[in-house]
Amino acid sequence: MLAAPPAGSEEGLERRLKTRHLSMIAIGGAIGVGLFLGSSLTISQAGPGVILSYLAGAAIALVMAIALAEMAVVHPVAGSFGVYAERYLNDWAGFAVRTTYAACQILAIGAEVTAVAIYFAYWFPGAPQWLWVALVSAGLVGVNATHVGRFGEFEYWFAMIKVVAILAFIGVGGALVLGLGERPALGLVNLTAHGGFLPHGWSGVWLALVLALTSYMGVEVVAVAAGEAENPRESIPRAMRTIVLRLIVFYVLAISVMLAMTPWTQSGSGALEGSPFVRAFSAAGIPFAAGFMNFVVISAALSSANTNLYLSTRMIFSLARSGYLSRGFGGLSPAGVPHRALLLSSAGMVAAILLAVFAPSRAFLGLYGAAVAGMLFVWLVALLTHLRFRRALGPAGIAELPLRLPAHPLPTLAALLALAAISATTLAIDGLRYSLASFVLFLLVVSLFQRRARLP
C-alpha cells in the first residue's frame, strides 16, 4: 500500500475523535436545512416523486462515501480530498478544491444560521432575523474554540437529538398513516392525489435531484475529520458503512411519511417560511407536536452549522500549513484548535447577519444556492482523484483496503457523469440559475491567486 504523505504540515491536531463521534458528526453535517427546510423546494419540483429523487441522490452519495473512505484510510489528514487531489492530480486541483470547500462551508454556515432565524419566527414572529443569527453565531464559535474532543462530544449529542426526533417523526407519522391509534388511517392517498405520483413528470424528479443531492453533502465530513480520528484505519470504514445507509433511511422514510400525512401542494409550497415537517404536524392536529418539531429543526440547523464551521476551519488550516495562505492561519491554540482559521471561517455568519438585515426574504436561498455549484465541483474533483488513486495503489494495495468500492471504475464513472449532468441542470432551477456562472468566476479568481499564492 502507498505510504501516507508526511503529516508534518498538519501536525499539532489532536486525535481525539472516536468512531461514534465521526458517525454523528457526518450525520449532523448532512441532516440539516437540506431536509428540514430545503425539502419544500424539492417537493415543489417533483411532488411525491421527490422520493425517487432522494433515492437517486443516495446512490451517488454512497459511491462518494466509499471512494473517500478508501483514500482517507491511506491518507488520514485534515486537508482530505484537497491533499489527495494535490497528490494524485496536480497542485492547482489541490488548492482549488480546498479553497472551494472552505468557501462553500462558510456560505453554508450562513445558510444554516439564517434557517435558525426562520424557525424562531414560528415562536417569535416579531423578533428581527439578525438577532437570532448573531446569538447563534456567537455560541457556535464558542463551541468550536474548545478542543476537538469536546466539540465531538457536543456534536454527538446535538446530532443525536435530530436522529431520535426523525425516528419519532417516522414512527408517529407512520402510525397516523396506517391508523394504528384512535384516529382513522390517513392512508397513502396523498401520494397519488393532487396530480398523481409524478405531477411534474420525470423532468420534475430530475430537477428535484439537484437539490436533493445537496442534502447528502456532508458524507465527506468523515474524510476531513480523519486528521483527528483516534484510529483512522478502523474508525473511518466503520463510520462510512453506517452513515449513508442511515441517511437513506432517514431521508427516504421521513419524506415519504411527511408526503403521506399532508398533500404535497401544502408541503411543497416553495416558500421558505418554515419547515414542512412542522406544517405536517400542525395539519395533523397533534397537541404540542409542531412546537416540538420546530425545536428539533432548530437543533438540526445548529448541528449542521457547527459541523460546517469545523470543516471550513480545518480546510483553511490545511491551506495555511501548505503555504497557500498566511502561516498565521495555521496556528493552534493551547487546546489544539486552529483558532485563527476559526475566526476566518466565521465570515459566513457575518454575511448571514448582513443579509438578514438588508434582504431577509432572500438570505437563505442566496447563501444556499451559492454553495451548491462549489460542492458539485468538490465532489467531481474527489471522484476524479479516486480514479487516479486506484491506479496508483495497484492490485496489492487495493487488496489491503478495509473498505472497497465494488466493480471499479464503473460506479465512479457513473457518479461523475451524473454530477456533470446535475451541474448543467442548475441553469434551469430558480435560485440556482446563476450559481454555476458565479462559481466559474470564483474559480478563475482562485486560479489567478494560486499562481502566486504559495509561500516558501
Averaged confidence pLDDT in the chain: 80
User: Residue 17: beta bridge partners?
Assistant: 229
In this predicted structure, the answer to whether residue 440 has a pLDDT above a threshold of 50 is: yes
356 φψ region: left (φ > 0), alpha (ψ -120 to 50), beta (else): alpha
CA atoms of 296 and 274, how far apart (whole Å):
13
> Quick one: DSSP state of residue 361?
T
For 111-153, what is each residue's pLDDT tens digit? 777 778 777 887 888 888 778 888 888 888 888 888 777 777 8
Looking at residue 88, what is its pLDDT?
A: 96
Q: Residue 387 has what pLDDT?
A: 97
* Type of residue found at 382: A
pLDDT at 160 over 90: no
Residue of 344, 332, 345 whose CA lies nearest to 12: 332
* Angle ∠(263,196,419) on CA atoms, nearest 5: 90
Residue 271 pLDDT more than 90?
no
Cβ distance 324 to 450 under 8 Å? yes
Residue 444's pLDDT is what?
87
Distance of alpha carbon 218 from alpha carbon 221, whole angstroms: 5
Q: Is the pLDDT of residue 269 over 60?
A: no
Give the pLDDT band of residue 7 (cuts 50, 70, 90).
Answer: very low
**What is the structure's pLDDT at 64?**
92
pLDDT in tens, 62-116: 899 899 989 999 988 877 888 999 999 998 999 899 888 888 888 777 777 777 8
Give Cβ neighbours of residue 31 (< 8 Å, ≥ 6 apart).
159, 162, 163, 166, 215, 218, 247, 250, 300, 303, 304
For residue 279, what pLDDT is reported? 66
pLDDT at 8: 41
How does DSSP assign 101-168, residue by residue?
HHHHHHHHHHHHHHHHHHHHTTT-TTS-HHHHHHHHHHHHHHHHTS-HHHHHHHHHHHHHHHHHHHHH
Asked if the model's pLDDT at residue 53 lies above 90, the reply is yes
Is the confidence at residue 454, as pLDDT, over 80? no
**Higher-scoring residue by pLDDT: 206, 435:** 206
Min mean pLDDT across 235-239, 257-261, 272-276 is at 272-276
Beta bridge partners of 348: none
Q: Mind listing the pLDDT tens digit for each residue in 372-424?
A: 788 899 999 999 999 999 999 999 999 999 889 999 999 999 999 999 999 99
Is 248 or 36 the better-scoring residue by pLDDT? 248
**354: closest CA among 128, 141, 38?**
128
pLDDT, residue 5, reads 47
100 class by beta-carbon count within 10 Å (0-12 exposed, 13-18 middle, 19+ buried): buried
Judged against a pLDDT cut of 70, whether residue 369 lies above it is answered with no
Q: Per CATH, the architecture of 11-380+421-453 is what? A: Up-down Bundle (1.20)
